[in-house]
Amino acid sequence: MNFSGKQVVVTGGTGALGSALVGALVETGAACRVAYVHDGELERFARKNDPKVELVKVADLSEEADVAKLYANVTPWASIHIAGGFAMGKVADTGKAALMAQIEQNLVSCFLCCRAAVNAMAKDGGRIVNVAARAALEPRTGAGMSAYTIAKSGVAALTAALAEETAKDGILVNAVAPSIMDTAANRAAIPKADFSAWPKVEEVAATILHLASPGNRVTRGAIVPVYGKS
């Protein structure tokens, strides 16, 4: 997995999974353009002063202007879309605004970044990796978080459809579908869980790294479960 001389765009790159992924990309030779929203995450981001990492502050990746800013003057080999949002809520308790917020944060942002990436990539192709969720593959597990499940299911469908559209152009599109990952925030939210069963962010990042790499020559349209033992 040699990314030497290759540019990679990463959304959500200053979060737990994003930080692990950007670190792995830099170690394999990539130059990363990383979108971030929250200054607090940037302060904790270990690679914020790395010369191989270009940080771009955006307000909302469901807005075309912010997406255009992120992809301006770059020809990425790979574009990896981690940014999104999560909210619990039963259907009976979820209004239109909450539903649309999940769709905007997860599906619309992913769609717009996919579109920008396809248009920015060189004629010799590239790689796109999206982040869906276990609930997108197993909707029954999305009970109690239906708006999120709907949005992430859309990401999975987008991935499969776009993979078919771009295969002839040498752009391979895939997604990972994590279960709950072992992060500090998730441990705090579910303190009695068996953390050892949760996939580590470094492990999920390794799967993304392979799908985004030049070494992936044949896999497209896959929604890869990354569940660990959970």
Beta strands in the chain (DSSP E): 7-11, 31-36, 53-57, 78-81, 126-131, 171-178, 223-226
Q: How much is the CA Rg of the chain, to the nearest whole Å?
A: 17
Rounded to the nearest angstrom, the gap between the alpha carbon of residue 188 and the centroid of all alpha carbons in its chain is: 22
Cross-strand pairs, 46 = none
Alpha-carbon gap, residue 147 to 131, rounded angstroms: 16
CB 15 within 8 A of CB 82: yes
Beta strands at 171-178 and 223-226: parallel, antiparallel or unpaired: parallel
Alpha-carbon gap, residue 139 to 145, rounded angstroms: 10
Catalytic residue among 36, 71, 148, 227: 148
Q: What is the DSSP letter of 199?
A: P
Alpha-carbon gap, residue 167 to 207, rounded angstroms: 20
Per-residue buried b or exposed e for 204-218, using 16+ beta carbons within 10 Å of the residue's own CB: bbebbbbbbbeebee
CB 200 within 8 A of CB 16: no
Known catalytic membership, residue 148: yes
Q: What is the DSSP letter of 103?
A: I
Supply the residues annotated as catalytic.
Answer: 148
